[in-house]
Chain A
Amino acid sequence: MAKKLFNEPSPLEVKVLSRRFGLDNSESLDTYLASDGMKAFWKAREMAPEQIVEEVKASALRGRGGAGFPTGMKWSFVPRNSPKPKYIVVNADESEPGTCKDRLLMEYDPHQLLEGMMIAGMAIDSHKGYIYIRGEYRYIIEHMDRAIAEAYSKGWLGKNIQGTGFDFDVYTHSGAGAYECGEETALLDSLEGKRGIPRLKPPFPAVAGAWASPTLLCNVETFSAVPAIIRDGGAAFAALGTPKNGGTRLLCLSGHVNKPGVYELPLGFNLMRVIEEVGGGMRGGKKLKAVIPGGSSCPVLKADECDIPGDYDSLAKAKSMLGSGGMVVMDEDTCMVRAAVRIMKFYAHESCGWCIPCREGTSWLKKILVRFHAGQGQRSDIDLIGDLSKSMLGRTFCALGDAAAMPTISIVEKFREEFEQHLGGACPYGKVHDLALTSH
């Protein structure tokens, strides 16, 4: 039976990773095998590991977790000949506000992810994979466990897979509710049973990751793209996007649009077109005020900055990021100070506390922003908010501090007048009551 879809698909979508979304029993192995599933597995069996890595390089696939690092290059860093065991780790700790694509990939097409993991395993001579799933995705963990059990029962995981002599085991591992564990080294510490705090780098996980062994750690979407790349060729995948920004990506469109949802669009798809054509325009015909292009860590774009191609390099040029694909659209009624409060509350709650600037910076910025939004701000607070954010930016142990600082700095710089409007003693948008001062 066809599972109810997250949202209606858009005709503008280019369905590569999401091609099975909406099929009957799309999560079953049979459906998967009946729709080109595991073709890439057989093809990869015929390829040398270096060829697999080359194919991924040719696809111009970039990490879909947020950083956008070229995936093929990451794969090539793993010392294939290390005498240690090597691990495949899937980052399914999808916690970035605004991002909700990995859950769909696991829910609708779990075997695509497993196939991608196995191909990665062949590429780096790994026979063990872990899927680290955020604890809040309890049902996804169970769902994934069922898919894994099915794969084992039908000889698509375990020893001597389909008689090829290739062994591969997969385990799921539950996160415990920390955004920080989406940072790859904190994830590895958590996977090892330790407190989830980021590690010093170098060494990078490719060299010394899980249990100090070479580890290939990528996002769900990244691994899920691998079967298509191997099956249809890296070049074909690359051609879907723009130069150096290969393929498609699942864009999580939310906020004040008529048709929010997860849409698979080619890299480089214009952001204004996403809002107008894919998202069906602004809700209630309101005017666009701002867009968070790729999850709450990204600097916000003003309405007039949004007419750009949605790829890593174009966003970087606009001094923002494509991030993890969580595009949040805000209309003219949005209080940007409140948006800043909301974002900072998240980061203050999620800061792991390891390093001083992030621990103190996020908590104090939250306090100041909450007070400011409630009408208790002073003019000097506006600069203080910007200053403190800059005291975090680039100075924290991991990127969480930057993630908290960047949107805040951009909001203060681009919407300073809204802060000044709050000096009158109340939020001009009349939105105060739902932001309690006390919560952490």
Chain B
Amino acid sequence: MSEVTLTIDGKTVKAAPGTLLIEAAKQAGIEIPQFCYYEGLTLQAACRMCLVEIEKAPKLMVGCTTPVAEGMVVHTDSPTVAAARKGTLEFLLANHPLDCPVCDKGGECELQDMVFRYGAGESRFTDIKHHVDEKQWSPVVFYDGPRCILCYRCVRICNEGMGVGALGIVNRGVLAEIAPNKGDHLECDECGACIDICPVGALTSGTYRYQTRPWEMEHVGTICTHCSNGCKTTLGVRNDHIMRGNNRDRSGINNEFLCIKGRYAFDFVHHEERLQTPLRRIGDKFEEVSWAQALEIVAGKFSEVKSRGGQFGVIASNHTSNEETFYLKKFAREGLGTANIDHHRTGDIATLLDSLSGKVNVLSTVQDLYKARAVLVIGSDLAQQHPLLSYQVRANFRHHSAHVYVVTPGPVREDKYAVKSVRVSEGGELAGVEGLRDLLAAETELTILYGDAIKGEAVRRLVTFADSLGIAVKYVPLVDYSNSRGAYDMGAIPGDGGMSYDEILAAPALDVLWVVGANPLKNRSLASKPFIVVQDLFLSETAKRADVVFPAASAYEKNGTVTNVTGEVQRLRAAAKVMGTKSDLEIMGLLGKEMGLALGIWKHDKIFAEIRGTVRGYNVPLPVITTGGAAQTAAVNGRVPPTAFPDSIRSARDTLFTSGSLTRYSKMLQSVRESPGAVYEG
């Protein structure tokens, strides 16, 4: 389509037909101020801040709903426009409480910024303002009506973005206000998207309110450590303490999306039960010991067992960085000489990659999910387990009318707009998919997301089915945790003759069990009585049975990289510091040093360089990673280990409000009434 040429403030601007004036101006570097207009959400034209003068139009026009037209002459800097902006701001401030000095939003408030830029800072009003008291809708969400400018961003992000629709408008005129779905409280995802999208301080967060000012914090962009989706979260940090999480800069693969875990569940970092000193077992009690002592004990034990050819079992983490897992694998294989290393695998990546040998462009990214023409979800409640993927698919449907198909045991949020939802009993997933054959074959392309119900041979059958459709198909093997994908890719899987996760736990004569950032004994027993070494944040069920516990740093306290569910590598940046802890990498490095092993330097960037050089598919562009971008690992051709141990693959069935042990230590997550994760009644 040919472009439209128009003039904005004397500048010749070209834009695609249908482009909204406000966007065309933005592309030309001209700001048209707005409150209610929000990219990606429905148009409102409610705030009247974006009024502009268009020649030949009888009155000022709204920039956010007026499409560009050939030959249009627009003025955004005329005295009439300036007066209109000032007039709108004057109205906005009329009832606004002007409690900026105590308002959380002060310093990053759009209304404040607008008034500084466009005037109306002095009031001409002397009458009494309309006041209503602040309301608490949930432990997370507070609403201060008088501050609200009624731009309806919150209503739309909740309804359109999240697919929840928990917010609405009640009353009319000056009494109009935002209201929660349950009258006096919210029952929703508690994601807090409404709070972050609020241009003023009307919606404030239960964790952040009255804690700090925005300019007192450092803002560290890192990757959320809770689920596998790999959302960028920007942590606001003051004095090494994380004050909040958000992604207002819309960086990362998630744009501004975050769920409750990404936005609020960072508080486990500062939980009072965090381990801050190494522990060693004396009888049935733990004794605090120094790092030197603990390292000496463990190194001594490891060396002794190794020298007598004893049996090691190493359980790696779904949460540690790629560098740490890589180093652990190296430690186990080269340092300890054992092939018994595995992690809690939650999805069958191995068989998929093997089945796709020789094919290219078959692994979907998070971004791809926003553009795919058709999406098939098998055996997963995306909104609960993969909120970002769910958000992307939903946005895809809203913006591009994507065809969505669902094959799940129970009802899921995608049902609302799916072309077809099929309910199957567990194990009947592939039969359900087969029933969609004709519909799917009529699509031009398809992206398949599958959960742990599809594993082993079922993966191969799924791929055969997809191949038979005769259309381009991409896959997302769904896994649970923040670095589940990395743990697999880094090789935390049994080597030749090595024992799997289940086999390690069931081994009759294990001498050493080394658990790094995992909790295998949470609800499982151990067949043997090995010497147990645990690296963890908390005294988990597994740590409680350990002989030595090292206090580890969380993902929010370290640098490195992680790989998300779609195989996209992103950078972790250390935000907080917790006294007494060390990163798993440092613990392993010191341990190796203590044992006299030559495992190489334990600096994350050096190890990442090694990963890029040696791990297939990980030769990702360094500039993308270092600047906070995401780079998908290249598809791997074959080379799947002798057995993928599909039997030990099981999802933890986490929900929006859980992610294994970490979330048990998030007070915010525990406090919302929807927790621990029963699907709330929407």
Residues on A lying within 8 angstroms of B by beta carbon are 178, 180, 195, 200, 348-357, 359-364, 367-368, 371, 380, 384, 388, 390-391, 394-397, 440
Residue contact B46 to A355, C-beta cutoff 8 Å:
yes
Whether B46 contacts A440 by the Cβ 8 Å rule is: no
B124 contacts A384, CB within 8 Å? yes
Q: Which residues of A contact B84 (CB under 8 A)?
A: 391, 395
Interface string of B157-192 (1 = CB under 8 A from A): 000000000001101111110000000000000000
Interface residues of B in 66-106 (CB under 8 A from A): 84, 87-88, 90-92, 94-95
Contact A357 B87 (CB under 8 A): yes
Residues of B close to A367: CB separation below 8 A:
127-128
Q: Please give the distance in Å from A81's CB to the nearest CB on chain B.
A: 25
With A178-B172, A440-B175 already in contact, the answer to whether A360 and B95 are too (CB < 8 A) is yes
Question: Would you give the shortest CB distance from A362 to chain B, in whole angstroms?
Answer: 7
Residue contact B172 to A351, C-beta cutoff 8 Å: yes
Cβ of A353 and Cβ of B150 under 8 Å apart? yes
> Nearest CB to that of B65 among chain A residues?
A200
The reply to whether A363 and B174 form a contact with Cβ atoms under 8 Å apart is: yes
**Bound complex: CA of A74 vs CA of B150, how far in Å?**
34
User: What's the least CB distance linking B171 to chain A, in Å?
Assistant: 7
B48 at the A interface (CB under 8 A): yes
7 extra interchain contacts, Cβ-Cβ under 8 A, other than A178-B172, A363-B173, A394-B59?
A200-B65, A359-B150, A360-B91, A367-B128, A384-B124, A395-B51, A395-B88
Q: A356-B46, A397-B45 are in contact. Are A364 and B173 (CB under 8 A)?
A: no
Task: Report 9 cross-chain contacts, Cβ distance below 8 Å, ordered by A residue.
Answer: A355-B45, A356-B46, A356-B48, A360-B174, A364-B94, A391-B91, A394-B60, A396-B48, A397-B46
Q: A395-B84, A396-B48 are in contact. Are A350 and B91 (CB under 8 A)?
A: no
Which residues from A are CB-within-8-Å of B92? 356, 360
6 tightest A-B CB contacts, nearest first: A353-B176, A391-B87, A360-B91, A363-B174, A394-B59, A351-B173
B506-524 interface code vs A (CB 8 A; 1 in, 0 out): 0000000000000000000
The CA of A37 and the CA of B46, in the complex, are separated in Å by 46
| Cβ–Cβ contact A180 & B172, under 8 A | yes
A360 CA to B48 CA in the complex, in Å? 12
A200-B43, A395-B48 known; A352+B173 contact, CB < 8 A: yes
Interface presence of B125 (CB below 8 A): yes
- The complex places the Cα of A361 from the Cα of B95 at a distance, in Å, of 11
- Nearest chain B CB to A439's CB is how many angstroms away? 12
Q: Which residues of B contact A195 (CB under 8 A)?
A: 168-169
From A353, A368, A394, give the contact of B173 (CB < 8 A).
A353
**Distance in angstroms between the alpha carbons of A397 and B46 in the assembled complex:** 6
Q: Assuming A356-B46, A395-B51, is B172 touching A364 (CB within 8 A)?
A: no
Interface assignment of B388: CB less than 8 Å from any CB of chain A:
no
User: With A195-B169, A200-B43, A360-B94 known to touch, is A351 a contact of B59 (CB < 8 Å)?
Assistant: no
CB contacts (< 8 Å) of B47 on chain A: these are: 355-356
Q: A355-B45, A355-B47, A363-B130 given as contacts; is B173 within 8 A of A395 (CB)?
A: no
Give Cα A257–Cα B441 distance, bound, in whole angstroms: 77
Query: Which of the residues A200, A355, A359, A391 comes within 8 Å of B174, measured between beta carbons?
Result: A359
Q: Residue of A at shortest CB range from B87?
A: A391
Q: B150 contacts A395, CB within 8 Å?
A: no
The interface residues of chain A lying within 8 Å CB-to-CB of B175 are 353, 440
Given contacts A384-B124, A395-B51, contact A356 B173 (CB under 8 A): no
CA of A137 to CA of B176, assembled, Å? 25
Q: Which of B91, B95, B130, B173 has the most CB of A within 10 A?
A: B173
Contact B91 A361 (CB under 8 A): yes
Q: Hey, which chain B residues are within 8 Å of A368, CB to CB?
A: 125, 127
Contact B176–A359 (Cβ < 8 Å) = yes
- CB within 8 Å of A: which of B46-66? 46-49, 51, 59-60, 65
- CB neighbours (8 Å) of A357 from chain B are 48, 87-88, 91
- CB nearest to B35 among chain A residues: A356
User: Which of chain B's residues has its CB closest to A197's CB?
Assistant: B169
Which residue of A is nearest B59, CB measured? A394
Give CA–CA (A397, B65) in the complex, Å. Answer: 11
Most buried by A among B43, B88, B127, B149: B127
Interface pair A353/B174, CB less than 8 Å apart: yes
- Which residues of chain A have C-beta atoms less than 8 A from B51's C-beta? 395
Complex: A186 Cα to B26 Cα, angstroms = 31
- A355: B residues at CB distance < 8 A: 45-48
Please tell me if the beta carbons of B173 and A371 are within 8 angstroms of each other in the complex. no
In the complex, residue of chain B having the shortest beta-carbon distance to the beta carbon of A378: B126
Is A348 touching B173 in the complex (CB atoms < 8 A)?
yes
Q: Select which of A353, A380, A388 is within 8 A of B172 by beta carbon.
A: A353
Chain B residue with minimal CB distance to A370? B127
Q: How far is the CB of B105 from chain A (nearest CB, A)?
A: 18
For the complex, give the distance between the alpha carbons of A353 and B95 in Å. Answer: 13
Q: Which residues of B contact A200 (CB under 8 A)?
A: 43, 45, 65
Residue of B43, B46, B47, B49 contacting most chain A CB atoms (<10 Å): B46
Q: How distant is B669 from chain A, measured CB to nearest CB, in Å?
A: 33
**Complex Cα distance A362/B130, Å?**
13
What is the distance, in angstroms, from B518's C-beta to the closest C-beta of chain A?
Answer: 51
Find chain A residues with CB under 8 A from B171 CB.
353
Residue of B nearest to A368 (CB): B127
Instruction: Tell me whether B87 and A348 are in contact (CB under 8 A).
Output: no
Closest to B58 in A: A394
- B593: shortest Cβ distance to chain A, in Å? 65
Cα separation A384 to B150 with both chains bound (whole Å): 24
Contact assessment for B46 and A395 in the assembled complex, using a CB-CB cutoff below 8 Å: no
Q: With A353-B173, A356-B47 in contact, do A364 and B125 touch (Cβ < 8 Å)?
A: yes
A368 to B90, CA, bound (A): 15
- CB-defined contacts of A360 to chain B, threshold 8 Å: 91-92, 94-95, 174
Chain B nearest CB, measured from A365 CB (Å): 10
Contact, CB under 8 Å: B125 / A352:
no
* A368–B88 CA distance with the chains assembled, in angstroms: 18
Shortest CB–CB separation between residue B464 and chain A, in angstroms?
Answer: 41
- Residues of B close to A350: CB separation below 8 A: 172-173
| Chain A residues in 8 Å Cβ range of B125 | 364, 368
Contacts of A363 in B (CB 8 A): 95, 130, 173-174
Q: Which residue of B lies closest to A348 (CB)?
A: B173
Residue of A nearest to B84 (CB): A395
A202 to B, closest residue via Cβ? B65
Whether B91 pairs with A352 at a CB distance below 8 angstroms is no
Contact with A along B108-147 (1 / 0, CB 8 A): 0000000000000000110110100000000000000000
- Identify the closest chain B residue to A402 (Cβ): B59
For A177, the closest partner residue in chain B by CB is B172
Partner of A351, one of B95, B128, B130, B174: B174
Report which residue of A178, A352, A357, A388 has the largest number of chain B beta carbons within 10 angstroms of its beta carbon.
A357
Contact A364 B91 (CB under 8 A): yes
Report B558 CB to chain A, min CB distance, Å: 46
Rounded to whole Å, the gap between the CB of A19 and the closest CB of chain B is: 39
Contacts A348-B173, A362-B173, A396-B48: A356 and B124 contacting too (C-beta < 8 A)?
no
Closest chain A CB from B31 CB (angstroms): 19
Query: A395 with B60: in contact, given A180-B172, A349-B173, A357-B88 (CB under 8 Å)?
Result: yes
Q: Which has the most chain A C-beta neighbours within 10 Å: B48, B51, B90?
A: B48
Give chain A nearest CB distance to B52 CB in angstroms.
Answer: 12
Taking the nearest CB of chain A, how far is it from the CB of B181, in angstroms? Answer: 15
B45-A395 in contact (CB<8A): no
B54 shortest CB reach to chain A, Å: 13
| Interface contact B150-A356, CB-CB below 8 Å | yes
A352 touches B176 (CB 8 A): yes
Closest to B177 in A: A353
* Distance between Cα atoms of A353 and B47 in the complex (Å): 11
Within 8 A of A (CB), among B166-222: 168-169, 171-176
Please give me the residue from chain B that is nearest to A367 by CB atom. B127
Q: Are B173 and A359 in contact (CB under 8 A)?
A: yes
CA of A352 to CA of B43 in the docked complex: distance in angstroms? 18
In the bound complex, how far is the Cα of B94 from the Cα of A348, in angstroms? 15
Q: In the complex, are the beta carbons of B174 and A348 less than 8 A apart?
A: yes
Cα separation A368 to B123 with both chains bound (whole Å):
14
